[in-house]
Amino acid sequence: MCGIVGYVGSKQACPILLEGLSKLEYRGYDSAVVAVLDGEKINVQKARGRLSVLSNMVDGGKSVNGVMGIGHTRWATHGEPSDVNSHPHVSSSGRFAVVHNGIIENYIPLKKRLMEKGFQFVSETDTEVVAHLFEYYYKGDLLEAMTKVIHRVEGSYALGVLCSDYPDSFVAVRKASPMIVGVGRGENFIASDVTAILAHTRNVYYLEDDEIVMLSASGVKIYNTDREEIKKEIFRVNWDVSAAEKGGYEHFMMKEIEEQPKALRDTISPRIKDGKIVLDDISLTSEYISSLKKIYIVACGSAYHVGVVGKYVIERMCRISVEVEVASEFRYHDPLIGKGDLVIVISQSGETADTLAALKEAKARGAHVLSIVNVVGSSIANASDSVLYTWAGPEIAVATTKAYSTQLAVIYLIAIYMADKLGRLENDEYSRLIEELNTLPDKVSKILENKSEIQFLASKFFSSKSIFFIGRNLDYAVSLEGSLKLKEISYIHSEAYAAGELKHGTISLIEDGTLVVALATGDKLYEKTISNVKEVKARGAVVMGVTTTHHEHAEDVCDYVVRIPDADELVLPSLSVIPLQLFGYYVASLKGCDIDKPRNLAKSVTVE
């Protein structure tokens, strides 16, 4: 959600800013801007729409001179998408230009106070307040002005600020919104995401809340809000820059679907040593697990769907009560949580605003927080008591695939680990489950080998107006994710429903030709789901069944059948989700949708 890139060095800044912003397009945006200081004045270039519009306007950056600048892709929160509302916002004198990710919650009283002092506003945004605050507080010291501004504003922010009085340096800060600093040779960078600067440096600082950075070509200095310099450790990004490139694929989403076998191996293999699960990074002792009153899983979107699977798996294996909650609801309903409870927080980016707020609520009430995240050094990782990284590598497409799969793998690891500590697994059962985990990547690869089958099915149903997904227990949990994948990238209305609940509402929507995707992978509830398939068939539905190899007679009741390899029922979600991801992708492709950047959506939701 929004993207920031900043550069200072000896090269022309504008082409570098455009290149960096192109790596952040996946985050979601509706306008793009660059502001470059030419040594005397700040030159701002804005364009509504795609980054290509801005790039053409400035001839790929050649028409804007200067070796220091900031760039921004905006996702509208305050004010419609327009050139006036897009960033950077410039102060009344033109001395300051500000880019901002996040939301300034108290901008209305600040705006009123500034207007009383004679400041004039031209936009509807909260960010313009920040630009005028810099003008108001600036007395010749940019760092001092920054500290005064951040003491006045409330909310979440990552700020990059140019000042025409400082031709060789600029300043940035973060609070509850991601910001990294890239350290190069004779050049330095800021960015919302490391992918924006990987072509130039692998050495980064991960800023924490209220850390201010002053960047020049010769160096980087980081300060706290008392303007005291602090020392931080440089982090070396070790994944290949090609991991953030399409590599010949038409879309990042398909590339990331295909990367899932490797991602699963990278998540699982290092944590299995000599046939045992080893979670060195967390402290879940037998005594602690035995003392747990309840486990909460808190997340948003697809990560929440991982949590729904996790509830079934952990409760079945460990016999500990698990509640799954949407993060935005958890933080506001005064949850009954405290010491003796474990909260598992799941987030791909580690910056999801509602999830981070829920984490802080849980910690304030005395719960132990274990996070499952992909991004090292992210806000959620830093705020947690324990953290397990998925090691999925960069995920660029807005619709998550490999992040979902690797989060699910970590849930399995936690469940088996805890069940073993509780003495609920015999040695042979434990070994069998470890083998199930080890074989998951190969089984996913096998499903991907037959993706042309899913492409054919997509060609028959891409013009559908509504598609329903049904299943029971774990199959229902996966249906939630399958439905979300379809709707978010193809814009087809879709709904997932617990198959046993059909008669309580949704079956009234079934009519001739309606596609129903029925998941029936587990043995225990297979026949019950088949009965539900017959119910919708009797009302005119066309049914695409997803089941395992050994369920031989699915074709007798389903119009089309997609088969996945046999596996233990608890890990089947890792397999059954793959054809649903592919189906959503191919449907969206056939409709001509912008798959990697679906409308109105952002990859990392860093505002409430």
Q: Are residues 372 and 492 in the same domain?
A: no
**Domain termination site, one of 433, 448, 463:** 448
Catalytic residue IDs: 2, 603
pLDDT tier at 240, thresholds 50, 70, 90: low
Backbone angles phi, psi at 118, to 5 degrees: 100, 0
DSSP SS3 for 492: coil
236 Cβ contact list (under 8 Å, min separation 6): 202, 203
Residue 234 is classified by DSSP as P
For residue 460, being part of any structural domain is answered with yes
For residue 168, being part of any structural domain is answered with yes
Output the six-digit token pair for 196: 């924006």
What is the Cα 168 distance to its own chain's centre?
34
Count Cα atoms within 13 angstroms, Cβ side, for 480.
18
pLDDT at 167 over 80: yes
Please choose, from the candidates 170, 251, 158, 239, the residue with its C-alpha nearest in 3D space to the C-alpha of residue 198: 239
pLDDT tier at 605, thresholds 50, 70, 90: low
For residue 349, being part of any structural domain is answered with yes
13 Cβ contact list (under 8 Å, min separation 6): 7, 34, 36, 61, 64, 66, 67, 68, 69
Q: How many CB atoms lie within 10 A of CB 526?
A: 17
As a whole number, the mean pLDDT across the chain is 91
| More reliable by pLDDT, 454 or 27 | 454
DSSP SS3 for 417: helix
DSSP SS3 for 544: strand
Residue 595 CA to residue 381 CA, distance in Å, equals 29
Residue 111 CA to residue 540 CA, distance in Å, equals 58
Q: Taking the alpha carbons of 153, 158, 164, 170 in that order, is the dihedral positive or negative?
A: positive
CA dihedral 119, 124, 126, 130 (to 10 degrees): -30
Domain containing residue 421 = 243-448
For residue 58, being part of any structural domain is answered with yes
Q: Are residues 224 and 273 in the same domain?
A: no
* Residues paired with 203 in a beta bridge: 236
Q: How many CB atoms lie within 10 A of CB 527?
A: 9
Q: Taking the alpha carbons of 65, 67, 68, 71 in that order, is the dihedral positive or negative?
A: positive
Mean pLDDT across 378-398: 90
For residue 607, being part of any structural domain is answered with no
**Domain termination site, one of 238, 265, 283:** 238
Mean pLDDT across 298-323: 96
Residues recorded for the chain: 608
Is 217:32 a contact under the CB 8 Å cutoff? Answer: no
| Digit-coded pLDDT (tens) for 168-198 | 999 999 987 889 999 999 999 999 988 899 9
| Digit-coded pLDDT (tens) for 102-127 | 889 999 999 999 999 999 998 888 88
Is 379:359 a contact under the CB 8 Å cutoff? Answer: no
Q: Are residues 277 and 416 in the same domain?
A: yes
Residue 294 CA to residue 291 CA, distance in Å, equals 9
Is 194:179 a contact under the CB 8 Å cutoff? Answer: no
525-528 long-range CB contacts below 8 Å, 24 or more apart?
A: 525/472, 525/473, 525/475, 526/551, 528/472, 528/499, 528/500
Q: Are residues 187 and 274 in the same domain?
A: no
**What pLDDT score does 60 carry?**
94
**What pLDDT score does 178 carry?**
85
Residue 409 CA to residue 414 CA, distance in Å, equals 9
Least confident span in 68-82, 145-159, 304-318, 354-368: 68-82
For residue 72, being part of any structural domain is answered with yes
| More reliable by pLDDT, 578 or 375 | 578
Mean pLDDT across 88-108: 91
What is the Cα 291 distance to its own chain's centre?
32
Q: Are residues 29 and 166 in the same domain?
A: yes
Percent of the chain with pLDDT strictly greater than 70? 95
**What pLDDT score does 79 carry?**
46
Q: Are residues 211 and 311 in the same domain?
A: no
| Digit-coded pLDDT (tens) for 35-85 | 999 988 999 998 888 899 999 999 999 999 999 999 998 765 544 555 555
> Of 153-157, 280-284, 472-476, where does the model show the most confidence?
472-476
**Domain termination site, one of 212, 238, 264:** 238
| More reliable by pLDDT, 558 or 89 | 558
**What pLDDT score does 404 carry?**
97
Q: Are residues 181 and 231 in the same domain?
A: yes
pLDDT tier at 86, thresholds 50, 70, 90: low
**What pLDDT score does 509 carry?**
80
Q: Are residues 537 and 421 in the same domain?
A: no
Q: Are residues 463 and 442 in the same domain?
A: no
Residue 405 CA to residue 264 CA, distance in Å, equals 7
For residue 606, being part of any structural domain is answered with no
Pairing assessment for the beta strands 493-498 and 466-471 based on DSSP bridges: parallel
Q: What is the CATH number of the domain that holds 563?
A: 3.40.50.10490
Residue 411 CA to residue 405 CA, distance in Å, equals 10
| Digit-coded pLDDT (tens) for 550-603 | 998 899 999 999 999 999 999 999 999 999 999 999 999 999 999 988 887 765
Q: Are residues 96 and 228 in the same domain?
A: yes
Is 181:211 a contact under the CB 8 Å cutoff? Answer: no
Amino acid (1-letter code) at residue 291: S
Q: Are residues 63 and 49 in the same domain?
A: yes
| More reliable by pLDDT, 510 or 359 | 359
Mean pLDDT across 268-292: 90
Is 504:497 a contact under the CB 8 Å cutoff? Answer: no
Q: Taking the alpha carbons of 74, 79, 80, 85 in that order, is the dihedral positive or negative?
A: negative
For residue 605, being part of any structural domain is answered with no
Q: Are residues 292 and 395 in the same domain?
A: yes
| Digit-coded pLDDT (tens) for 327-351 | 999 978 888 898 999 999 999 888 8
| More reliable by pLDDT, 530 or 242 | 530
Residue 48 CA to residue 72 CA, distance in Å, equals 12
Q: What is the CATH number of the domain that holds 163?
A: 3.60.20.10
Pairing assessment for the beta strands 341-347 and 322-326 based on DSSP bridges: unpaired
**Ramachandran sector of residue 8 (left: φ over 0; alpha: ψ -120 to 50; beta: rest):** beta
**What pLDDT score does 85 carry?**
56
Tally the domains of the chain: 3
Least confident span in 86-90, 181-185, 212-216: 86-90
Backbone angles phi, psi at 514, to 5 degrees: -65, 130
Is 36:197 a contact under the CB 8 Å cutoff? Answer: no
